[in-house]
Structure 1
């Protein structure tokens, strides 16, 4: 396909330029053989919206599966396919084998040289009632890797564990896909633009800590109900997320229930609650819910496969890791809503919210702010580093002299290779509700000394203070005097994280 005929992203599709370009490149690649792509992502991310826009521009075939029996699903597919080709009568396929064979036959190069885009959305619904479908598709893809075909087939789904399994291990489609795209939530900056609050970082940070970057929550769920300013945030959260009449009220429960591999939802909610309460290690989670560590291996793996839980390695301690809830609304539910569920159902949103300030700060906004700070360093904050990026994460530095541990919320570490030592490029601490002062800077400086004594290269290591509440006068005075730290110290507040003025730096 020539460049002049390649579709541009429609203006009504917000952000998603990277995803659009990947899909466009997949469809437009001038190969004379069939190509397969897998598109996944949790519900409400806008996958269908994105793929429909692509199909509309390409003139392809879109089929959205529903929860139905195999016979009904096959009938729906046949009717949609007949409508696409302009048949005056519905098609009738005896089996999915017949249906998929006919579908690939439409991509014969005899009639046209342009690629034929086919999107089968919510594919897990079909695979559940017709488990032979992946094998049938594999057979056709293999066949048209030898014979010529214009087929560009995209299988899409929201059940993350199912979609991930399509290309795993001995699965029939393993090694057949030329595209594996995960549609993720908007980043915190894009989410602020989407909600129209980019000019109010304090409000944007609180909104993102509750609803994250899920696009459906603003328009489909809340009909564009957006707080006008920070002073309206409390009223907004009481009339939306905490109101039993709002679609968001039970959304966290639905997100868990929709995952195909989750059976005992009570156990999974307990695991998530343990993490939300600050028990982020495997042993801590097991102790919180009263199980042995070995007994929670399966639910932890399922939650990871579902992209609801992430295991993050400690960058300073090999073999150590912590778990983090990836969906802000679920974390908010487990920390704030679930403990007061009966009261919220009876309409006591204002009372519950008024009593949740400390819990919200400690268990929701605080941990979320640390994640946002790491995202900043991975994105626009890369320009602040005086070296290559390396691995961005967090960890614990153990001081054997002082016999204490220092939690590093944001770290950039580059693994050693050959004869070079492991290098630390950034050590940062993030505070949501605390005004940061000299003591925080001194703690980071001591951690750097400890890592130097351990043989790590800290010659280019910068120190960074991230705070949503600001910085003390004493710390700012230290900054203004300058020249006390040749490697530089960064002060990063919400204005800097959301794209405001360049951060203050001590040279």
Structure 2
């Protein structure tokens, strides 16, 4: 069953319906579902689909020629065009009087093996774009290559594309739709452990409990996901050992560059270079306090939940796991799951606030959300705010997120009120999010204050489960 990607499919359909030359660039991390999206789009259309392989130009040209001739004749053919230019000329000619989609998937593999391919495409697009009905889609998993050699200003194809799509992992709402039989808490745990990458979500069997799925996917050496993070790094980087060490350091609490450097035993310049690559791969994100431009306060976090979960729990239990003791390994992990889910719950709460805004129900029309941390001058100590969003110089929202089995009491609300007063906004809206709910004292205090929203996880799920428009 195909789930999600409604906006992307709608955008591709709009391009297709134009009936003129269109050129879309689709890129995103491996396993994120780019090929599935494209196959869903071309399912009922006349299309040539060609996936590049990590080989030489000759092999890719043979495969490309076969794809063209199979589409045109309906039979497998061994004939090969003399060059990519000749093959592409044929495609443009075929699209002279009929709508035709050409997909070159894993374009970086083909372009690296054939240095002139980008220039050839540029030449033919310029020659045929006014008369052609071709819809060209270039797709790639190497985000740095796609950004530098297809989308960048100096790239030969710059200015030719009519659309681009960066395909991101599913958000929490889409993950919930994948597992309608799970409870809200189970859906959150799946999102926290596996993230939103479709290929990873396919490994989850919703006929089993989340605990059993964790044992079968993360704590079983024979599972498809057991070595996935390390294998993905080996495909993307040259020195996976140091990248492994850096991600492990972040997963286990090191967030500042100096802390990461100290944990891995390398100087900060080396770590900064490796972190830059991890940022480019979308595995790590760099954060600064909301509204602050000072990079010296920057911290790093793992942006993919599966990587974050794996590096947090698997390496430290690898000896137990390798002996087949997944039950024992899970017993060691289980006490820390609630703490681990704290950050995941913050992600879900931010997504809730975005849905509220897009539905026209947010009291604050923010343009972005983020965390804030800094010094409280009143107490002369560091403090932080889970969620902050600003509408203008006078209006802002502040949020606190609690993933605990106990009801949130008025002390947490008092702290949120106090922290919001570190800023000079005259209209402040407070959001307190709780997994389990709120004590009577907390509810009574909220009623005495202006602009306070107490939102339980159950209430949040009502919005996530509303039909998509």
How does the TM-score come out when normalised to structure 2? 0.91
What is the CA deviation profile of residues 288-334 of structure 1, one whole-angstrom value per residue up to 9, with x for unaligned ones?
A: 22223222222222112211122233114331333222211111111
Match of 1:337 in 2: 314
Residue 427 of structure 1, aligned match among 398, 416, 431: 398
1:101 equivalent to 2:76? Answer no
Instruction: Indicate conservation of the 8 Å contact 1:36/1:141, yes or no.
Output: no
Match of 1:467 in 2: 434
1:206 equivalent to 2:189? Answer yes
Q: Counterparts of 1:289 and 1:38 in 2: how far apart (Å)? A: 37
The alignment of Structure 1 onto Structure 2 pairs a total of residues equal to 459
1:310 is paired with a residue whose SS is: strand
Instruction: Indicate conservation of the 8 Å contact 1:35/1:141, yes or no.
Output: no
| Cα distance change, pair 174–341 in 1 and its aligned pair in 2 (3 A) | farther
Instruction: Indicate conservation of the 8 Å contact 1:159/1:258, yes or no.
Output: no
Q: Counterparts of 2:456 and 2:109 in 1: how far apart (Å)? A: 45
Q: Counterparts of 1:393 and 1:218 in 2: how far apart (Å)? A: 27
Where in structure 2 are there 5+ consecutive unaligned residues?
none
1:451 equivalent to 2:423? Answer yes
Q: Counterparts of 1:236 and 1:56 in 2: how far apart (Å)? A: 32
What is the CA deviation profile of residues 420-479 of structure 1, one whole-angstrom value per residue up to 9, with x for unaligned ones?
A: x3x452111112236422222111111222212xxxxx2221112222243334313434
2:40 is paired with a residue whose SS is: helix
Residue 18 of structure 2, aligned match among 29, 34, 55: 29
Match of 2:110 in 1: 126
| Cα distance change, pair 376–500 in 1 and its aligned pair in 2 (3 A) | closer
Instruction: Indicate conservation of the 8 Å contact 1:195/1:218, yes or no.
Output: no
Q: Counterparts of 1:443 and 1:132 in 2: how far apart (Å)? A: 61
Cα RMSD (Å) of the superposition? 2.3
1:274 equivalent to 2:249? Answer yes
2:246 is paired with a residue whose SS is: helix
Instruction: Indicate conservation of the 8 Å contact 1:413/1:425, yes or no.
Output: yes
1:332 is paired with a residue whose SS is: helix
| Cα distance change, pair 449–155 in 1 and its aligned pair in 2 (3 A) | same
Residue 169 of structure 1 deviates from its aligned partner by: 4.0
1:367 equivalent to 2:367? Answer no
Match of 1:310 in 2: 285
1:499 equivalent to 2:466? Answer no
Q: Counterparts of 1:465 and 1:485 in 2: how far apart (Å)? A: 13
Match of 2:384 in 1: 407
What is the CA deviation profile of residues 222-272 of structure 1, one whole-angstrom value per residue up to 9, with x for unaligned ones?
A: 5xx2155xxx3222311232211211212222232232xx11111111221
| Cα distance change, pair 218–296 in 1 and its aligned pair in 2 (3 A) | closer
Q: Counterparts of 1:50 and 1:235 in 2: how far apart (Å)? A: 30
Q: Counterparts of 1:92 and 1:162 in 2: how far apart (Å)? A: 27
What is the CA deviation profile of residues 344-379 of structure 1, one whole-angstrom value per residue up to 9, with x for unaligned ones?
A: 1221221122112344333x3221211121111112
How does the TM-score come out when normalised to structure 1? 0.85
Where in structure 1 are there 5+ consecutive unaligned residues?
1-11, 453-457, 503-507
2:26 is paired with a residue whose SS is: strand
Instruction: Indicate conservation of the 8 Å contact 2:289/2:374, yes or no.
Output: no
Residue 98 of structure 1 deviates from its aligned partner by: 2.5
